[in-house]
Amino acid sequence: QIGVSKYFIVSDRPIYDLGLVKKVTEGLESAGIEVSGQYLEVLQDAQLEDVKKCAETIKASGAEGIIAIGGGSVIDTAKAANILFSEGGDLVEDYSGANTLTRPLKPLVVIPTTAGTGSEVTKVAVIYDEENKEKLGFPDKYLLPDIAVLDPEMTLSLPAKMTAATGMDALTHAVEAFVGIEASPISDAFASGAIELVMNHLVSATENGDDIEARGGMLIAATMAGIAFSHSMCGCVHGMAHATGAYYRVPHGVANGILLPYGMEYNFEEISEKLAKLAPVMTPGQNGLSEEDAARKTIDAVRQLTAKLNQLGALPTRLRDVGVPENGLQTIAEGAVNDGTSFYNPREVDEEQLLPYIQQAY
């Protein structure tokens, strides 16, 4: 339907080595669609230099569109490379800020191999600036992929640690979208649906990677959470996680998993009513509770989930366990204040007020 007969594939080495790129390539070629080349050098975080190299390789291949096969870093690399592939120029100098594009880009098809980022249904690419140690967001409606293919078979080989981390990323998207200042009945429906799916399926998917039902449930959860936060944005948990990743190279989902309950505590006075509404989803069978008790139960449910994932050896629960130095906690608080997510947080993000919660996470 898109009308493209020549695609370029963006992925990474681990995904290639698992045979997932070959599976897609063979499927395309059997349908008469040409694969003009592959870029497989995407790292843990999508990086500026990779985006430039990727775009140059796509352009040289004569491709008409892009297929991204991978997790959030692969998808974000493909999105950002598509800007340069379609329009040329310099990513930072020409496209910094929001909504800088004036027309649709070349077709982009996304096949996620993790269940967490929701990048397959969002209009933003997050790219790491290694020189300045910061994560740059490029939000634009024209970055939204044309097609997202959710195939749980593409996630069966995802290791337990990656399953847990990306799953906590999805949960964080959903919770922050549900309690955010931009929330609406539409975003609430997607967010609460995603939360229920995560609570029902994340432990099973982590414990038994071959559980196709759990894998499918998590893929749908990630996509629903991606749609939810596209409507209502994220808050201070993501601000802290972005800083933790930028300065101390902690994977995004791991940082979110550690910091989520502390961000919920920081915002508690402003979001207790919304948190209470999540209690039946997070802790079924708890009836007749006061609003505050129900809200506390919701935070407890997050802690119990991360504790279970920790027991499985799949998720750290402390910043000290992922290499963050104690003298770096102030840096994380400062980074969170300066992050774009601060504008959407239910409580004003103040460096000194946020710091004690980060210290508790240490």
pLDDT of residue 158: 95
Q: Could you say which DSSP state residue 12 is in?
A: B
Taking phi first (over 0 means left), then psi (-120 to 50 degrees means alpha), and beta for anything else, what does residue 72 get? alpha
| Spatial contact of 56 and 10, defined as CB atoms under 8 Å apart | no
3-state secondary structure of 207: helix
Dihedral of the alpha carbons of 90, 94, 99, 104, in degrees to the nearest 10: -50
User: φ, ψ for residue 33 (rounded to 5)?
Assistant: -105, 130
pLDDT of residue 130: 85
Give the orientation angle of helix 48-61 with respect to helix 72-87, to 10 degrees. Answer: 60
Burial of 145 (0-12, 13-18, 19+ CB in 10 A): buried
Q: Could you say which DSSP state residue 350 is in?
A: -
Q: In the chain, which ranges are E strands? A: 6-10, 34-39, 65-70, 108-112, 124-129, 134-139, 147-148
For the chain of 362 residues, list the mean pLDDT of each consecutive stretch of 10. Answer: 95 96 97 97 89 97 98 96 97 94 98 96 92 89 97 96 98 98 97 98 98 98 97 96 95 97 98 96 85 96 98 98 98 96 96 98 98
Q: Could you say which DSSP state residue 70 is in?
A: E
Which tens digit of pLDDT belongs to each residue from 220-256?
999 999 999 999 999 999 999 999 999 999 999 999 9
Give the orientation angle of helix 185-207 with respect to helix 160-179, to 10 degrees. Answer: 160
Which tens digit of pLDDT belongs to each residue from 53-108?
999 999 999 999 999 999 999 999 999 999 999 999 999 999 999 999 999 999 99
Taking phi first (over 0 means left), then psi (-120 to 50 degrees means alpha), and beta for anything else, what does residue 118 get? left
